[in-house]
Amino acid sequence: MNLIFIATVFCWLLKFSIFSLYQVRANTCDTYNHPQYGFGQWINQSLCPNDLYLTGLCESKPMDVKCCFSSQTIKEEFRAAWIATVSNIDWLSTRTATPTQQQSELLNILNTLQKLNMNAVVFQIRPVGDTLYASSLKPWSIYLTGIHGKPPSPLWDPLEFIIAEAHKRNIEVHAWINPYRARMSGATYELASNHMAKRFSKYAYTYNKYMWMDPGSVEVQEFIVNVTEDIVRQYAVDGIHMDDYFYPYNDGTEFPDGTTYAEYQQHDGK
C-alpha cells in the first residue's frame, strides 16, 4: 500500500472526527460572552433569528461549522450576583480607602463576574436609607465614607461608575434598595437631618435594636416611591430590587405601628 494513500486517509479521518466533534458542540449550543455582542450562544445557522446572522465571531469555532452567534436566544437567563454594601459585606474592604482604590476594588469584582460569565449584578445602593449614589434625597452612606452623610472626596458616584463599567462588560446593573431599614441593629451613629428617620421621625421606630420605618405610613410609602423614581430617572439601571420590603424580623415584642394600622382599618383595610 502506498504511504501517501495511508497518510491521506489518516488526515481525512482526523478532519472528519474533529469536524464531527464541532458539530456536536454546535448543536449543544455553547454559551459565550462576546466582547462586542454580549452574552449569547452559538446555534446552528439555520435556526438563527433573521435579524441577527453573524458567523465566525467565536475564535474557538472554525468557520466551516455553520453557526451563528445570537445574543437573543438566551436573553432570558439571569445569571446575577449580589454586591452587598451594608456593613461592607462585599464592597469596600475599608471605608478609609481613596476613591481610586474603591473604584479599583469594584472593577476587580466586575472583572471576576465577567470571567464567570455573569450577565447581571444586583448592587446595594440604599442599605439603610442612605445612598451610594448622588441623590437629592440624601444622605451619603456611612458604608462609603465611614461618616454618615459625608460625600466622598474627591466626589464620585458609585452607581454611575458601576453602570458604565458593567455595561462595558455586557453586565446589567440592578439597583438594590432596602426601603424601610433606617439603621442597622446596634448602630448608634447620629442620623443626618435629611435622613428619612429624621424627616419622618413620627414613623421611625427602634425595634430589635434596628431603626425601622413604618411600612404602614402613607408618607413613608410615598417617599419610597419618590426615591425609586429618582433612581430610575437619573440612572440607566436595568432593574430595581426591593429587599426587606416587609416589617422587621420579630424580636418577640409588638412592632409599634398601632396608629397607622388603625388608620388603615378606618380606610377599609382588613
**Cis amide linkage into residue 49, ω under 30° from 0:** no
Question: Residue 98 corresponds to which cell in the numbers above?
Answer: 481613596
Select 226 or 259, whichever has its Cβ closest to ligand NAG. Answer: 226
CB of 143 to ligand NAG, least distance (A): 23
3-state secondary structure 226-239: HHHHHHHHHCCCCE
Residue 198, classed as helix, strand or coil, is: helix
Task: Give the distance from CA 61 to its chain's centroid.
Answer: 31
Select 80 or 137, whichever has its Cβ closest to ligand NAG. Answer: 137
Select 103 or 228, whichever has its Cβ closest to ligand NAG. Answer: 228
CB of 177 to ligand NAG, least distance (A): 15
Select 2 or 46, whichever has its Cβ closest to ligand NAG. Answer: 46
CB of 152 to ligand NAG, least distance (A): 25
Contacting residues toward ligand NAG, per CB under 6 A: 23, 26-27, 44, 46, 65-66, 219, 222-223, 226
- Answer for the pair 142, 148: CB distance below 8 angstroms, yes or no: yes
The amino acid at 138? K
Distance CA 23, CA 122 (A): 37
Q: Cell 446589567 appears where? A: 172
Rg (CA), the chain: 26
Select 48 or 86, whichever has its Cβ closest to ligand NAG. Answer: 48
Distance CA 235, CA 81 (A): 20
Which stretches within 65-211 are classed as H helix?
99-115, 142-145, 158-168, 196-199
Residue 51 DSSP class: T
Select 42 or 143, whichever has its Cβ closest to ligand NAG. Answer: 42
Select 226 or 265, whichever has its Cβ closest to ligand NAG. Answer: 226
CB of 46 to ligand NAG, least distance (A): 4
CB of 27 to ligand NAG, least distance (A): 5
Q: How would you class 147 by CB atoms within 10 Å of its CB: exposed for 0-12, middle for 13-18, buried for 19 or more?
A: middle
CB of 162 to ligand NAG, least distance (A): 26
CB of 199 to ligand NAG, least distance (A): 8
